[in-house]
Structure 1
Amino acid sequence: MTANHIASVLCRASPQQALDFLGDGLTLGQWALGCWQTEAVGGGVVRGHSLFDDTPSWVRPVVDGARLTVTYHVGGAPDALAPRIHATVEPDAATGGCRIALHASRGADMDDARWLRLVRCHELEVLLIQARLERSAAADTAQILKPR
């Protein structure tokens, strides 16, 4: 039996802002605890490092604008990436914001400790995403409203 986990949060940023943020490999390095401080390595791939043990990791975010999703192809080397994590953005018509969710499936090679860490990380990461997006959205609004 495969275990799945979804962590989600409501956000006061537009769906497009959220999708752009989630699909940017460099901003991934601001919220993904397993791939911190990303840098571009070519071909849409970024390299970062785990805040837990400093091991390097590589990620290629693939955006599907029509479905408002990002699939993160993740691996321990740039030529060994597999689609393991998915982000979805759901527009919230009532607020003009959106719901952002991170989806993970437990791989057969994942022991209990690694799965628990992934689950806890995603629960925190959606809050980091929310905070960064809302801060950015507030700054954009302040700039628009600034008297000239």
Structure 2
Amino acid sequence: MKAGQSHITSAVVKAEARSVFARMADAQKLHRWSFGTWKTEIGEDGLVRGTSLFDGSSIHLRIDAYETRHIIDYHLGVDPQKLVPRIQVRVVPGEHVGLDSGHSVLTFIAWRSEAMDDDRWRRLTASHEMEVMLIKAMIESGQF
């Protein structure tokens, strides 16, 4: 087993949790922030096909959103029949962590597949660090 089997990154966002959650659960918005799923194509069944900015590879994704808990599982894989929930986003309401309801905490959690080499894992973790800040900036500036 390789070191670093999971990665977590978070940011406080000046927006209500339900608003942040809705944006993160919207497949139409993935291309705005996800470096791994640009040039998205969304099927009628909700299956997303995206392209990595890093190497042009294709990946499939299905969003599984739990609105009452503000949790989103992103099921990913090359084969659309074998998607696994490797990425999770949780949006914590501000009042749960001592902030007001106009704030929330956006958290990304990623689990490393055994098939990922160190370079691929580093790209993913660096992307999530940047993506969470990009999302925060876009929401707070009204662009997202």
Aligned partner of 1:74 in structure 2 is 76
Please state if 1:12 is matched with 2:14.
Answer: yes
| SS of 2:116 mapped into structure 1 | coil
Please state if 1:128 is matched with 2:128.
Answer: no
The whole-number CA distance in structure 2 between the counterparts of 1:48 and 1:135 is: 26
Aligned partner of 1:91 in structure 2 is 93
- Which ranges in structure 2 are unaligned for 5 or more consecutive residues? none
Aligned partner of 1:22 in structure 2 is 24
Instruction: State the shift of 1:37 in Å.
Output: 2.9
Instruction: State the shift of 1:79 in Å.
Output: 2.3
Aligned partner of 1:142 in structure 2 is none
Instruction: Quote the sequence identity (%).
Output: 36
The whole-number CA distance in structure 2 between the counterparts of 1:135 and 1:78 is: 35
The whole-number CA distance in structure 2 between the counterparts of 1:59 and 1:133 is: 23
Counterpart selection for 1:47 from 24, 46, 49: 49
Aligned partner of 1:57 in structure 2 is 59
Q: 1:13 to 1:37 in 2, by over 3 A?
A: farther
What TM-score comes out, normalization by structure 1 length? Answer: 0.86
**Structure 1 ranges of 4+ moved more than 3 A:** none
The whole-number CA distance in structure 1 between the counterparts of 2:74 and 2:9 is: 15
Matched AA of 2:56: D
The whole-number CA distance in structure 2 between the counterparts of 1:48 and 1:105 is: 19
Counterpart selection for 1:112 from 100, 118, 128: 118
- Which ranges in structure 1 are unaligned for 5 or more consecutive residues? 140-148
The whole-number CA distance in structure 2 between the counterparts of 1:38 and 1:121 is: 17
CA-based RMSD: 1.7
What TM-score comes out, normalization by structure 2 length? Answer: 0.88
